[in-house]
Amino acid sequence: MHLKLKLIFLTLLLLLLGCNGRKEHAVNFYYWKSQVDIGATEKKYFDALKAETLYLRAFDVDDEGNGAIAKGKIDAFHPAALNATYVPVVFITNRTFVNKSEKDAELLSTKVFKLIEEICSANSIKSYSEIQIDCDWTGSTRAGYFSFLKKLKQLSHKQLSSTIRLHQIKFRKTTGVPPVDKGYAMCYATTSPKDTTVANSILDIEVLKDYLQNVNDYPVQLDMALPLYSWAVVTNHLGKIKLLNGVTRNELDSTDFEQTAPNQYRVRNDVSLHGMYLNKDFTIRTEEITPQLLKQTKDYLNKHIRNEFSIVYYHLDRQFLEKYTIQDLK
């Protein structure tokens, strides 16, 4: 009888834990600044969340019509700033692969790998086991991009990963599946900030659900990249839009701004905001990831995705981190 009671108690305990439903995943971060500034706040969150990997944007590649060139190379970086494994990330514009032959793509992979090695060596990153490529490829550029990835894998002998946009998951028959060891599903930028019909173009949970309907069938292992950033969508008198990174609603709580609707404001007086000069009657829409929206997103992913996954937050920056508790990000 005593044993039977123990078994009943254990069963109830397991049921309660299951109902609680909170899964904790490994947490890591992106770092996306050329001017590196990792301070006490970044270190505090990185350590408290037991993060192990920092996905470090090394440089960008773009082709404006005169050949692919590297831009925005990361400045001096001190790996001792964090107790972390560093993964160099290279952002490549989609147009870089427009009308490129297989030979062109393979030549680019040689140049990209050479620069990765130079940057890692110059910044005392003595060893790294993974390279990540960030590219919003399309059906028309997939051949060149995939050739680039295959060659880069051969040259580097590293684990190769790539970011995967939501449309590339939903429409993979058109865009194809990249020849990589691992993918990182970008669970943000769900709509265009130019779309005035949406409340939050950074992350709309219903749009996310639509794009991830068949994510469990994706043939490459996926981790989930989640946003922490915020911005203001500023519209001038001519209807032209500009994004101001890092703006939150709290900053607009002043006599220079009038709230006209939830998350929407009118500029009352000519004023400067985050280095941008705003004229009277410009309009502003703030978009941010609240702790509640972040929790709602993680709850959905936990219920919907069958395989275990890590979370990679975009990105490790005190101006975004301080909006959240450590528990919010677990």
DSSP string, 285-308: EEE---HHHHHHHHHHHHHH--S-
Residue 164 forms beta bridges with which residues? 185
Q: Which two tokens stand for residue 212?
A: 């991830």
Please list, in sequence order, all residues whose beta carbon lies within 8 angstroms of the beta carbon of residue 35, skipping any fewer than 6 positions away.
75
User: What's the pLDDT score for residue 248?
Assistant: 86
In a domain? residue 18: no
Same domain, yes or no: 70 and 123 = yes
Mean pLDDT of the chain: 93
Q: Are residues 253 and 300 in the same domain?
A: no
Residues 260 and 118 in one domain: no
pLDDT value of position 199: 85
Least confident stretch, 19-28, 97-106, 127-136, 164-173 = 19-28
In a domain, 105, yes or no: yes
| Mean pLDDT calculated for residue range 303-321 | 96
Q: Based on the domain organization, do 262 and 224 belong to the same domain?
A: no
Instruction: Kindly state the average pLDDT of the residues 85-110.
Output: 96
pLDDT over 90 at 53, yes or no: yes
Asked whether residue 56 falls in the same domain as residue 36, the answer is yes
Q: Are residues 59 and 149 in the same domain?
A: yes
Question: Is the model's pLDDT at 4 over the cut of 90?
Answer: no
The CATH number for 33's domain is 3.20.20.80
> Does residue 6 belong to any structural domain of this protein?
no
Six-digit token string for 156: 């580097």
Q: What value does the mean pLDDT take over residues 54-70?
A: 96
pLDDT digits over 242-264, tens only?
999 999 888 999 999 999 999 99
What average pLDDT does this structure show over 226-248?
A: 94
Please indicate, yes or no, whether residues 177 and 109 belong to a single structural domain of this protein.
Answer: yes
Q: Looking at the domain assignment, is residue 109 inside a domain?
A: yes
4-8, 11-15, 84-88, 96-100: segment of lowest average pLDDT: 11-15
Domain hosting 259: range is 235-278
User: Strand pairing partners for 259?
Assistant: 265
Cα–Cα distance between 265 and 254 in angstroms, integer? Answer: 11
Nearest to 19 by CA among 291, 298, 303, 293: 303
- Separation between Cα atoms, residue 200 and residue 87, nearest integer Å: 30
Q: Which H or E element spans position 279?
A: none
Question: Smallest Cα–Cα separation from 72: which of 87, 89, 86?
Answer: 89
320 and 220 in one domain? Answer: yes
Q: Counting Cβ atoms within 10 Å, is residue 305 exposed (0-12), middle (13-18) or buried (19+)?
A: middle
297 closest CA partner among 187, 199, 210: 187
Q: Give every CB contact of residue 188 below 8 A, 6+ residues apart in sequence.
A: 202, 203, 225, 226, 227, 314
- DSSP 3-state of 174: helix
Statement to judge: residues 257 and 148 lie in one domain: no
pLDDT at residue 217 above 60? yes
pLDDT for the residue 99: 93
| Domain assignment present for 106 | yes
pLDDT given for residue 72 in this prediction = 96
Whether 198 has a pLDDT exceeding 90, the answer reads: no
One domain for residues 78 and 192: yes
Burial of 324 (0-12, 13-18, 19+ CB in 10 A): middle
pLDDT at 19: 46
Measured CA to CA, the distance from residue 150 to residue 152 in angstroms comes to 5
| pLDDT cut 70: percent of the chain above it | 93
- Give domain status of residue 150, yes or no: yes
Confidence of residue 1 (pLDDT cuts 50, 70, 90): very low
Provide the whole-model pTM: 0.90
Q: What is the pLDDT of residue 196?
A: 82
Asked if 88 and 210 sit in the same domain, the reply is yes
Number of domains in the chain: 2
The answer to whether position 7 is within a domain reads no
Residue 50 confidence (pLDDT): 98
Q: Both 57 and 190 in a single domain?
A: yes
**Per the domain annotation, does 2 fall within a domain?**
no
